[in-house]
Amino acid sequence: MKKLLFYYFIFSLITGTTVYFLQCFSVPLPRIIRYYLNDFLIIPIVLYSCLVVLKWSRNDKNFTLSLAIILYLCTLYSVLFEFVFPKYLARYTEDFIDIILYFTSGITFYILQKIQHEFSKNS
C-alpha cells in the first residue's frame, strides 16, 4: 500500500506506451482501447510526475496534491485537447467521453493518493 501511486503510475505508463506503439504499427485494437484508454491513463501519469517533483522541490515526503489542483489539471486537459487543439490540429478531435475519462482518472488518482496517505500516517 505504501507505493500504491507508484504502481498505478508504472501500470499507466507501460499500458499507455504499449497501446501507443501498437497503434504506430497498425495493430488492430478494440475501439475502446484505441480511442479511450490513453485518455484515461494520461492524467495519472502527469499527476504522479508532478507529485514527485513537488515532493522533491518542497522537501516534503508527505506532500499530496489537493483535489482543486487535480480538477484544475483535468479541466486544463479537457479545454486544450477537446476544444482548442481540435480547431487548429487535424490530429485531435472533440469527444465528450474524453472529458469524462480525464475527470474519472483524476478522481481515481485522488482517491488512491488519499488511501496511500492514510496508510502512511497509520504506519
Domain boundaries, the chain: 4-122
pTM: 0.92
**CA separation, residue 87 to residues 38, 42, 44, 84 (Å):** 21, 21, 26, 6
Each residue's pLDDT tens digit, 30-83: 999 999 999 999 999 999 999 999 999 999 998 999 999 999 999 999 999 999
Q: Is 45 exposed, middle or buried (0-12, 13-18, 19+ CB in 10 A)?
A: buried
Each residue's pLDDT tens digit, 3-44: 899 999 999 999 999 999 999 999 999 999 999 999 999 999
Rg (CA), the chain: 16
C-alpha cell at 13: 505508463
